[in-house]
Structure 1
Amino acid sequence: MAGVEIEKITMSEIIWPQGFVPGFTDNYCSNELIVAGLSTADIWPLLNTPSLWPRYYANSANIQFQDGLGPELREGTRFSFETFGFPVEARCVEYLAPVKGQPARVAWHGWAGEGDARLDVHHAWLIEDLSGDRVRILTQETQNGLPAIELAKTRPNPMINGHQDWLEGLRTEALKIKGRK
């Protein structure tokens, strides 16, 4: 565009463990929001405390921590919850709380079912402050197993739609807490 100065910004990306790299898995989804007037500090407590998820994301329920840990996530924490009709066991495998100048990160390996019905997922979140008083919230998930193959064929895509609901609920809840609608 003539006469418009474009700021060059580099955005961070998800870190993928071997076996869960997009393009080499049975299913993948990516959802993102960029919101003005919020920061990583506004979003992090709502995401990092799974017991708060059902408050703004109707597709999560029955969150429980194992080994006497919780209520917040941290690397190595085992927890369980229900989502998309699956009871999911999970372990937090990446955890970087907000630090000025770095994106906050949290990811878990989740699994449900056994044998041919087993579903394995890597669900990662990245939250970073952007210029102009904006926050970027990125969530991506890869899945392996027969249930993932079936989910990938389903239209409309329940993972894309469900995770978008999660992001929008997270945004709405953070704005509500900040006193805005």
Structure 2
Amino acid sequence: MQNSINWPQEYTPGFTDNFCSNEVIVAGLSTAEVWKYLNDTRYWPHYYSNVADVRFYDGYPGTELYDNARFFFKTFGFPVEARVTEYVAPQSGEPARISWHGWAGEEGSDERLDVIHAWLIEDLDGGRVRILTQESQRGKPAQELAKAVPNPMINGHQEWLDGIVRSAKAQLAV
């Protein structure tokens, strides 16, 4: 049985304004090999064209995510403030997890967008790894994104997944 994302109640898919889910299963990679390309934000702009200006708050000098990390980045035309809400580094037999609450716009305004962007990476039998990313969104911008065809969230997150896989495979080829 495959694992699933842990959702805060108010972000349960189906009860929010927009939801997207992307997943890849790849042979020849492990959770440990994939993890660094998600966990370390310095890699993001190298393989994902829709992210820029990643920076951390609270005097943190590093580039790796951690439990309760407060950070900023730009994506999908939004300046996103974020805080890590779940952080489970790879452990034998357990899925790795990262989730963050992201927000843009003034609270209570029509421009306000609130999201939970969650990631799950797990080793599967046969030397395969599963990378799942899902995002559940609330607010008027989310309602508009839900109507867009093609869906920019699905396409953007697929690029993010494909970039992580390419980066991890390239590391193995060295």
TM-score range, shorter chain: over 0.9
Which residue of the other structure, out of 92, 95, 100, is the alignment partner of 1:100? 92
Q: Distance in 2 between matches of 1:166 and 1:117?
A: 25
- Aligned-residue Cα RMSD (Å) equals 0.8
Identity level (%): 63
2:74 is aligned with 1:75:
no
> Corresponding residue for 2:124?
130
Unaligned runs of 5+ in 1: 1-9
Which residue of the other structure, out of 51, 57, 74, is the alignment partner of 2:48? 57
Structure 1 ranges of 4+ moved more than 6 A: none
> Corresponding residue for 1:44?
35
> Corresponding residue for 1:26?
17
Q: What amino acid is aligned across from residue 33 of structure 2 in structure 1?
A: D
> Corresponding residue for 1:176?
170
Query: When the two structures are superposed, what TM-score results if normalisation uses the length of structure 2?
Result: 0.97
Which residue of the other structure, out of 138, 145, 151, is the alignment partner of 1:144? 138
Q: Distance in 2 between matches of 1:75 and 1:146?
A: 29
Deviation at 1:109, TM superposition (A): 0.1
Q: What amino acid is aligned across from residue 119 of structure 2 in structure 1?
A: W
Q: Distance in 1 between matches of 2:7 and 2:22?
A: 16
Q: What amino acid is aligned across from residue 68 of structure 2 in structure 1?
A: G
Equivalences, count: 171
> Corresponding residue for 2:148?
154
SS at match of 1:152: helix
> Corresponding residue for 1:35?
26
> Corresponding residue for 2:78?
86
Q: Distance in 2 between matches of 1:124 and 1:61?
A: 19
Deviation at 1:12, TM superposition (A): 0.2
Deviation at 1:51, TM superposition (A): 1.8
Q: Distance in 1 between matches of 2:30 and 2:48?
A: 20
Unaligned runs of 5+ in 2: none
Q: Distance in 2 between matches of 1:49 and 1:118?
A: 27
Q: What amino acid is aligned across from residue 48 of structure 1 in structure 2?
A: N
SS at match of 2:110: helix
